[in-house]
Structure formats: C-alpha cells, structure tokens
Amino acid sequence: MTPEETPESKEMTVAEAGKKGGDKVKAKYGKEFYTEIGQRGGAATREKHGPEFYGEIGKKGGQSTADKHGPEFYEKIGKKGGNRVKELIERGKRLSEEAESGGEKSE
C-alpha cells in the first residue's frame, strides 16, 4: 500500500473521473466554454462529413429508438404532445378573451 492509499480509499470509476474533470473545467472556464467547444465541434463535423451526416445519424437514432421502444412509444409521446398543444391553444384563447374583456375572467 502506498502512503497516499488508505484502507478506506477506493478506486474511482471512469464515469466518476470524467465528472470530476468536467466539474473542474466548468469551474475554471465557465459554462459558456462548453457551448463554444460544442459549436466548434459541430462546425468541424459538418465540414468533414457534410450536412447530410446529421440526417443519417438522426435516422439511425430514430430507428434505434423504434427498435428499443416499439410503435406504442411513438403513439404515447404523440398523444402527450398533442394534449399539450391543445392545452396551450385553450390557454391562449382564454387569455385572449380575458384581454378583450378588460381582464375579467370568463367562465
């Protein structure tokens, strides 16, 4: 056992080491740093592989999701999204009616 090691110490997983390193970089350079390097990486990928590449990987990801979750998954999220849109439309109509009536709530 080396002097740095103690019986209580444990080895760090790759994920733990990555998080620790990422937290250190974030503390040093700020959140904006990741935005900047992400944009640079995206531009380099687009230049190297072309814009069609994003369509291809999107298709692969969609197929993988379909294989993993099945058609019921898409039905479920479609209904969920549709219900949310319906709620937002109804809320917009109510707010519009309230604004037209001078702020009085209509029932």
pLDDT of residue 106 exceeding 60: no
Gyration radius of the chain over CA positions: 25
- pTM metric for this prediction: 0.44
Q: Give the CA distances from residue 92 to residues 12, 23, 86, 97, 100, in Å, rounded to whole numbers and listed in that order.
A: 51, 41, 10, 9, 12
Residue 65 · residue 73 · CB < 8 Å: yes
pLDDT digits (tens, 9 = 90+) for 60-96: 999 999 999 998 999 999 999 999 999 999 999 999 9
- DSSP reduced 3-state for 105: coil
